[in-house]
Amino acid sequence: MENLNAPAQFPTSDAALDADAGQFESPIRSKDLFNERSCVFIEHEGMIYALRATRAGKLILTK
């Protein structure tokens, strides 16, 4: 049985590399990002996106 409280394991591929720093980035936990909210707004290259957490534990990103 999988321990849901154990730290997540992330692949060590080139895709996970930070191109600028040349180092692996630490993941941001969704719990820290949402901070008890169900939706956060993200500005990316002049566009606003909404990142929502569903009751089923999924994430939905919309413009």
**Strands 47-53 and 59-62: what pairing?**
antiparallel
Query: SS3 of 16, please?
Result: helix
Measure the CA–CA gap between 34 and 31, rounded to whole angstroms: 5
Task: Indicate whether 24 belongs to any domain.
Answer: no
Task: Indicate whether 3 belongs to any domain.
Answer: no
How many structural domains is the chain composed of?
1
Tell me the per-residue pLDDT of 8-56, one tens digit each, with 9 for 90 and over.
Answer: 565 555 555 555 556 778 999 999 999 999 999 999 999 999 999 999 9
Task: Indicate whether 6 belongs to any domain.
Answer: no
Q: Assign residue 59 the CATH number of its domain.
A: 2.10.70.10
Task: Indicate whether 12 belongs to any domain.
Answer: no
Q: Is the pTM of this model over 0.75?
A: no
Residues 6+ apart with CB under 8 A from 34: 40, 53
Q: Residue 63 forms beta bridges with which residues?
A: none
Structural domain including 34 reads 29-63
The H or E element that residue 12 is part of is: none
Task: Indicate whether 15 belongs to any domain.
Answer: no
